Structures are given as structure tokens and as C-alpha cells.
Amino acid sequence: MAASLRAALKYQARLPVASRTGFGSVRGMASKPQTLKERFAELIPKEIENVKAIKAEHGKKAFGQVTVDQVYGGMRGLPALLWDGSVLDAEEGIRFRGHTIPDIQKALPKAPGGQEPLPEGLFWLLLTGEIPTEEQVRGLSAEWAARASLPSFVEELIDRCPSTLHPMSQFSLAVTALNHDSAFAKAYSEGISKKDYWGPTFEDSMDLIAKLPAIAGRIYRNVYGDGKLPAIDLNKDYSANLSTLLGFGDNEAFVELMRLYITIHSDHEGGNVSAHTGKLVGSALSDPFLAFSASLNGLAGPLHGLANQEVLVWLMKMKKQLGESPSDEAVREYIWGTLNSGQVIPGYGHAVLRKTDPRYTAQREFAQKHLPTDPFFKLVGQIYDIAPKVLLEAGKAKNPWPNVDAHSGVLLTYYGLSQMQFYTVLFGVSRAFGVAAQLCWDRALGAPLERPKSYSSAAIKKMFEGKP
């Protein structure tokens, strides 16, 4: 095992972070921080033994029965996936490796002078289960910046897309094209041992995350700007570079918003469409670029990643009809009108959560700090006070509380990023963190091809015929 890990570490190895110039560099070999890949390699043997022990002791035990309603109901609530990065609790919300959002807001390293956690630290946590040091996070920032450039043919591919092609379609197309240089695809074609799959998968995952800001920025500037992009700054963190590529890098509050946004949108356990799709496609040993492009196609659906756009459209219609500062009664009647027309209140309710989404709360606290007098923010707060009571009275939702989508669009609009079709691209940049971390662990643990059993309606009917 040790020999194979050493071999995989050398495979497609990059220069050590400490050897690079920029704010990730350190002087003297004695002070060189441990890289993420080195730490991941140390953790793999222990986790392999941990999984073996769990399967040996509990492998034949059942989670519970599967009902016909679950089969017809999108497998809602069906325990069928392993996902280590995060677990969603109905009462507490998401926990990243056991840490709540308030926990990580306090514990994860921040940029100099910043108050929001750096997403680099969250990725380290998702992959290792450990809170990284400030030095480790800065090293990861520097490594991603060094990997960020796109192959020229991918740049040309994006540039040739018509501006009428949806940003998410362009995003998925570009990520798929990165497969051209996949370390995993190359290693697999050369006969790499299964126990070493994790090495090139890790390299692809790091490249994937590192290149997403350049893809997102190029799409945004082509569709909504003049197509000209600044260079990646090797001395800046991931969110700062993304903000600069989008044209908002001079606004430190927007940069802080991106740090928070990417962190809280990064992972939401494994059963949502984008996460499950990435894991499913990855289980076929498709490389991380192919797996994540599939995730993006799922994320683009109206029932998944477009929700924050729908919230903003609904808010704009309300504002247009009711005016700048509507009364509580007017807002209440508008909500009732939406429900009575057969529509849902966008941004309210969740498949698992039964309380206010802590991701909503984190964004609300950000708004209270940075834009307390903004009319749209005030309207969102007003709806927060009114909508849950209406939904409970109407009996329309098991969870009448707001989710993450109820707030994010308002924050982006405030800072001038008002192109709603682009919002899901930012969601996609974030979601890569969770999908990539799990893909690395799936390959390290030798996860098998996903192949659940399916039944036809006729087979289900016959199965229970004559049974009570």
C-alpha cells in the first residue's frame, strides 16, 4: 500500500507549492507546509481500513424498508449513497465534515482584512475532514492560481459560442473539453493500477476547480461585456481572482460575497441532482471533467440551480405591482395570490430541511452588514416575516421556511451582477468543490459502478398482487 501511494503521488506531480513565487511561497525547506495531496495520501490507508471495518460489522444490516411511494417519488429520502463531505440534518441544516456553517465561518482561515471564510479552506476540510492552517490555505490559493490557465482551444471554443447560447450550456461544453488533457484518462489508457486511481483523479480535480474562474469569466465577458479578460493574479485567492475575471475585483465587498457564496454553495450532501449526477457518472470511471460537466447539466434544470433566478423574477414582479415600500398586508395578499394561482413561493421550502436554511441566514447576516438599507433586501426580510405564516395557514409546505435561493440573487443584483442567466454558473463553480472531493474519495476507496435495480409499473403491481 505504501509503495503504491508513493507512486501515485509522483504521478503527474506538480511543483511543490513552497517552490513558487507569490504569497503561497515560504523560505527554507524546514518551513514548507504539507500540501493537500500529501495529507490526502496519508489519510487514504486509514480510511480504507475504516470502511472495511464498517462493512465487516454492519454490512448485512438494513437502513429500513423501501416503499413503493419512494420509488415513484424520485427516491426521496431513500438511503442509498455514500457521501463523506457533508450531511444534511433536517433541523440543523448542512454540516461540512461535522461543522455547521457558523462553525466554519469562525474556524476557516480568511483573507488578510477579510471576514468571510476562504473556499480553499472549505475544500481542504471536505477532502480531509480537517481545518487547515492559514499557510496551507494560502498554498492552495497559489496552486490553483498556477493551474488556472485554459488550453487555447478551450478559449477558442468558448469564444465561438453565440451569445444567445445559455451560459450554462457554454459552461458544460468548456468543462467537457478539458477532458482533452485529463490525467486520469491518460493514466487509465496506459493501464494504471486500480489502487492508484486516486492520484490522477486528484490532479484532474485540482485542475478542474482551478480553471473554473477562467471559464466563468470568459463566458461572462463574452456574453455581457467586451470579451477582454485580465490575467490571473498568482498572489490573490480564488474568490478574488474570480471576482476580477467577472469585472468586480475592485469591490472588496463583492469579493467577500464570493468567498461566502462559494463556501456555502459548495456541497449539500450527495442526493441532490448535481452531486448525485457527478458521483454516478464518475462511478463509470469517467474522469472528473466528464463527471462534473454532467453535474452542470443537472444543475441547469429549473428544479435545481435556476431557483435563485426564479426568486428574483418573482420579487421584481412583486415590486413592480406593489411599489417600493409595500405594506405587510399588501405583501401578504400578493403571497396568497401566488398560491391561489397554483404556483409555489420561490425560495421557500426544502426537500429535507424543516427550519430556516442556515445558508439563507448567513447571506441575511451578510446583507445586514453590507446593504441594510437596500430596498430589495428589505423586501426579502419582509417576506421572511410573512411568508412562513401564510404557507402554514395554507398547508402548502412541510417546511415553510426560506432556503438558500431566497437571498442569493438579491445580493448579486445589489453589486451589479444583474444577469440572472449567469447565476447558475456561479452555483456551478461552487458545487465543483463538493463533487470533486467525493470523486477523489470514491477512487481512493475503490467505489464500484452504481447500478440500482429498477422496476416497471406492471412489475410493481404484480409484485404486490394479493398482498395486504
Please compute the mean of the pLDDT values over residues 94-110 and round it to a whole number: 96
How confident is the model at residue 17, as a pLDDT?
32
The overall average pLDDT reported for the chain is 91
High-pLDDT (> 70) share of the chain, %: 93
Using alpha carbons, list the distances in angstroms from residue 176 to 172, 204, 330: 6, 12, 47
pLDDT value at 379 more than 50: yes
396 vs 21, more confident: 396
- Which range among 68-77, 130-139, 229-238 shows the weakest confidence by mean pLDDT? 68-77
How confident is the model at residue 223, as a pLDDT?
97
pLDDT value at 397 more than 80: no
Encoded amino acid at 314, one letter = W
Q: Grade residue 414 by pLDDT with cuts at 50, 70 and 90.
A: very high
Burial 380-402 (b: 16+ CB within 10 A, else e): bebbbebbbebbeeeeebebbbb
pLDDT value at 15 more than 50: no
User: What are the tens digits of pLDDT across the range 422-441?
Assistant: 999 999 999 999 999 999 99
User: What are the tens digits of pLDDT across the range 317-362?
Assistant: 999 999 989 999 999 999 999 999 999 899 888 777 778 889 999 9
How confident is the model at residue 100, as a pLDDT?
95
Please compute the mean of the pLDDT values over residues 165-192 and round it to a whole number: 98
How confident is the model at residue 29, as a pLDDT?
43
How confident is the model at residue 149, as a pLDDT?
97
Instruction: Return the active site residues.
Output: 350
Range among 17-31, 64-78, 181-195, 295-309 rated most confident? 181-195
pLDDT value at 175 more than 80: yes
Which residues, other chains included, contact 38 with Cβ-Cβ below 8 Å and sequence gap of 6+? 9
- Are residues 263 and 125 in contact, defined by beta-carbon separation less than 8 angstroms? no
Q: Grade residue 24 by pLDDT with cuts at 50, 70 and 90.
A: very low
pLDDT value at 21 more than 50: no
User: C-alpha cell of 242?
Assistant: 474570480
φ, ψ of residue 96 to 5 degrees: the values are -90, 110
User: C-alpha cell of 22?
Assistant: 507569490
How confident is the model at residue 356, as a pLDDT?
87
How confident is the model at residue 186, as a pLDDT?
98
Q: Grade residue 77 by pLDDT with cuts at 50, 70 and 90.
A: confident
- Are residues 267 and 437 in contact, defined by beta-carbon separation less than 8 angstroms? yes
Would you give the end-to-end CA distance of the chain in angstroms?
Answer: 53
Please compute the mean of the pLDDT values over residues 208-218 and round it to a whole number: 98
